[in-house]
Amino acid sequence: MSHTLALLALLAVAPVAPVAVGGKFNKALGVGDAAPAWADLEGTDGAKHALADLKGKAVVVVAFTCNSCPVARDYEDRLIALGTTYAAADSSVAVVAVNVNTGKDDALPAMTARAAKRKFPFAYLYDPSQEIARKYGAAYTPEVFVLDRDRKVVYLGAFDDKAPPGEPAARHVEDAVRAALAGTPAAPRETSASAGCRIKFAAKKRDE
């Protein structure tokens, strides 16, 4: 057997690592992909937070949001309601909000003031590097990701199917959380979050 044929035969049986290829609406992540971890993100509580801190939780809800987007502000009541449902220390679900916008209205002091005013029952984290949003492929606020016990994505997209003040007919995130707790697939598993505001990403440097 020639060296070329031997190499081709070896490649044919070699294991191939799975590659995240994105979904219909998200070009970075898809259902079943491992969720990118974060570490040392400062919260409005003055502490540093990491995804690893939530290892005891069966489900993690990650909501990209901000202070300045009117749609995100309109959704706060629904996000607060979700957080309140799972606010107990022994809850199997964690709700985490992440802001990556860098304007004055979205800086950590403004976030801290808003979290106190609205009494957020969840961690509100700041990532001025914006890297966590890039890794998740988040493009809008609000945009939500539901992670299972293995920290695989089981749902991504909009919070529900009707922005406030409309009354939603389909509560995507709530349904996905219940499905993840039951070990069943979410339905739907991905939706568009484009009804929200675009995240204000800074231009990347050429050497990055």
- Counts for the chain of helices (H) and strands (E), in that order: 5, 9
CATH class of the domain whose range is 20-198: alpha beta
In this prediction, residues 79-83 reach a mean pLDDT of 98
pTM as predicted: 0.88
The average confidence (pLDDT) of the chain is 90
pLDDT digit string, tens, across residues 93-132: 999 999 999 999 999 999 999 999 999 999 999 999 999 9
Helix, strand, coil share (%) of the chain residues, nearest 5:
30, 20, 50
As a whole-number percent, the residues of the chain with pLDDT over 90 amount to 85
Residues 43/124, Cβ–Cβ less than 8 Å: yes
Tell me how far apart the terminal alpha carbons of the chain are, to the nearest angstrom.
Answer: 44
**Residue 66, Cβ neighbours under 10 Å: how many?**
27
pLDDT over threshold 70, residue 20: no
Q: Give dist(CA 47, CA 8) in Å, integer.
A: 52
pLDDT digit string, tens, across residues 28-51: 999 999 999 999 999 999 999 999
pLDDT grade for 88, boundaries at 50, 70 and 90? very high
| Residue, of 166 and 203, whose pLDDT is higher | 166
Residue 124, strand partner residues = 97
Domain borders along the chain are: 20-198
Q: Say whether 41 sits in a helix, a strand or coil.
A: strand
Q: Say whether 186 sits in a helix, a strand or coil.
A: coil
